[in-house]
Structure 1
């Protein structure tokens, strides 16, 4: 069969590549998996009761737009968290934000913009950004997010001829994998650039509720303050990290009325809305902040543990937010294999989250470490990492 050549530019899938890399014996009697960002803290205790009370909803097709209660809860969260007043028609419930981040490009990217359209993505990046770009026939353009740029992409450094073709820029704050946070000035500069070159910003804010002291600024919050074009920014949020419910596959996006109309239309033909019992759970979870505060406190403890164990390492940067460590090593693949063989700790080479650019992969000199396991396992894992790689 003749498959599209554009997909030949995709990076190799992360998890099969990692399994092949670490398919070697380990000396350790016990293993600790610190690769995937799958939260292991307890989800809210009320989830089970709400699900049980709404089981009858599995007997019907869910509404494409989402239930009123679910949309009300999301709008309430946006108002409490960012001071935004967002009507229901400018919110779309999602089966996890990966669906939304992909389908946004499908719905919003034009077929041409001064030639072949460009989609900007940070490098390192969440791979759905690149897949989305290639799926719509756009040219992905990888913008380094390295220590030199405070681990956020410097979109102002992109050549003007690329910016003039840019239709979409993906931005992730707090950043996966580095834990860097875009402040208001960063968002203002990026939105100003987008206004100048007329592209949209798809802001992946899935880690927004896991932070140290100051809540990360939101892209739509800043765009609204600036009086930017109402279609300039679409934001994406999830319950996976905020509420430890990755298996619920529940998130949302919010933005301008035309953007959301187009995304909703695509959903009507090619998507699947969240079942109503799960929407009932999601509504209750978005309405509750107490469990979020408790969850954040657990991550505060892990930040302190990481700083105590690894803070002396040259190049170590404590994350501002999120639950990943982006640890400097000489070579990420070699470090991950050595660590696994000697200690039984599984980590992810940074190169598996990055694209080679100008002959270099910006993730080669790092490993990503997920601090999602129980606190004692995180402490033990980080101690083993320190002793094995930095001792």
Structure 2
């Protein structure tokens, strides 16, 4: 077996399962799971219909690059969403089987193991796929802390020049999971300058880009930032997006990558051997989803209602603050986050995810310590019930006013 598999750490939800071993939740309370970022809003009927109406496409092998119609639909969406010059659908867009699969595969295609001690930069806290992808590609992950005292900005100066010189790939997540931080133009300028200086590729994970509060101020995207800074060829930049959160279709496994055509040309070659091609019915359903914005606006409205209802309840208990975007509260805990999650489950049957499970020690700090991630994915009434249980628990256990 590949010895690098031994480097992988247990996934956060396996660690959560182990944390809860031997814990009995109260049987008289219904379980409410706010630990996993799995959208639970209804999948729009028109997406389901598009899938069913194209089932005959199962009789054909799909192409790795996807059909012209899907690539053109995605290219049009990108130009409209981010106010870009026309995207070349043939060379600058590639459909993928969900952003998770593509984020992992990308490192395998990008990292050159023949070079000395390659590094892959990850935000911290982070999506654990980044770390696993780096390790299995033969690189060492290094982490940039995102701390509340610095408004969750990436600590770019925590790596030495020698370390930056060995970086081959940098994962960036905006809006951030779990902090909800949206990078601004100045943040992107610093990242692009580092990439130019050291020659590494940027993988921008934007799967939460369509969950935000102000319809008139959507989050800045990486391609959008590049264009505003005159980087019209998107040098060494590839963005990853997905329908899972935007359209409530996590089981569809549909997303795309877009950006630097030279990087995508090589990534397509890799994927030809990797064997991940999107089936024709999934492509048809994806085109229907990308072409419609009304269901996405309705989806955002549902999340806004949840944040508006929960913030007054959780704010006094856990000093929560509204994220820039996304559907998580990154909430400060009054004790060790693992202890908090375990005791909360035992007392209330509500599940949240300890922040330590989403981060690593870097520069002597684990930025997830003392936080829990609360995913507002359940229906509104369940989210309100969960918030009231959490606030009551904090008040009883720690004497804090809820």
- TM-score using structure 2 length: 0.93
What residue number does 2:369 align with?
A: 364
What residue number does 2:223 align with?
A: 220
How many residues are aligned here?
388
What is the CA distance between 1:111 and its match in structure 2?
2.5
What residue number does 1:108 align with?
A: 110
What is the CA distance between 1:283 and its match in structure 2?
0.4
**3-state SS of the aligned residue for 1:37?**
coil
What residue number does 1:155 align with?
A: 156
Instruction: State the distance in 1 between where 2:394 and 2:173 align.
Output: 29
Cα pair 1:335 1:389 within 8 Å, conserved: no
> Structure 2 vs 1, CA of residues 118 and 157 (structure 1 numbering), >3 Å: closer, same or farther?
same
What is the CA distance between 1:190 and its match in structure 2?
1.3
Instruction: State the distance in 1 between where 2:153 and 2:310 align.
Output: 22
Cα pair 1:152 1:175 within 8 Å, conserved: no
Instruction: State the distance in 2 between where 1:131 and 1:190 align.
Output: 22
Cα pair 2:317 2:394 within 8 Å, conserved: no
What is the CA distance between 1:150 and its match in structure 2?
1.6
What residue number does 1:184 align with?
A: 185
Cα pair 1:11 1:355 within 8 Å, conserved: no
Aligned Cα root-mean-square deviation (Å)? 1.5
Instruction: State the distance in 1 between where 2:27 and 2:176 align.
Output: 32
The 5 Å alignment of 1:323-342 reads 323-329=327-333, 330-342=335-347
**3-state SS of the aligned residue for 1:74?**
helix
Consecutive unaligned residues of structure 2, counting only runs of 5 or more, are none
What is the CA distance between 1:316 and its match in structure 2?
2.2
What residue number does 1:35 align with?
A: 35
What is the CA distance between 1:10 and its match in structure 2?
2.9
What is the CA distance between 1:128 and its match in structure 2?
0.8
Cα pair 2:111 2:138 within 8 Å, conserved: no
What is the CA distance between 1:342 and its match in structure 2?
0.5
What is the CA distance between 1:191 and its match in structure 2?
1.2
Instruction: State the distance in 1 between where 2:87 and 2:44 align.
Output: 26
**3-state SS of the aligned residue for 1:178?**
coil
- TM-score using structure 1 length: 0.95
Instruction: State the distance in 1 between where 2:75 and 2:234 align.
Output: 17
What residue number does 1:300 align with?
A: 304
What residue number does 2:356 align with?
A: 351
Could you list the per-position Cα deviations for residues 90-118 of structure 1 after superposition, in whole angstroms to 9, with x for gaps in the alignment? 111111101111111111222345x2111
> Structure 2 vs 1, CA of residues 234 and 248 (structure 1 numbering), >3 Å: closer, same or farther?
same
What residue number does 1:262 align with?
A: 266
Cα pair 1:28 1:341 within 8 Å, conserved: no
Question: Structure 1 residues 219-228 or 342-351, which shifts more?
Answer: 219-228
The 5 Å alignment of 1:133-172 reads 133-172=134-173
The 5 Å alignment of 1:1-391 reads 3-4=2-3, 6-23=4-21, 24-29=23-28, 30-84=30-84, 85-88=86-89, 89-113=91-115, 115-213=116-214, 214-228=217-231, 230-313=234-317, 315-329=319-333, 330-390=335-395, 391=400
Instruction: State the distance in 1 between where 2:314 and 2:48 align.
Output: 38
Consecutive unaligned residues of structure 1, counting only runs of 5 or more, are none
Instruction: State the distance in 2 between where 1:314 and 1:302 align.
Output: 16
What is the CA distance between 1:145 and its match in structure 2?
1.2
What is the CA distance between 1:72 and its match in structure 2?
1.4
Instruction: State the distance in 2 between where 1:281 and 1:103 align.
Output: 24
Runs of 4+ in 1 over 4 A off after TM superposition: none
Instruction: State the distance in 1 between where 2:194 and 2:316 align.
Output: 38
What is the CA distance between 1:243 and its match in structure 2?
0.4
Instruction: State the distance in 2 between where 1:240 and 1:171 align.
Output: 19
Instruction: State the distance in 2 between where 1:102 and 1:124 align.
Output: 17
What is the CA distance between 1:380 and its match in structure 2?
0.7
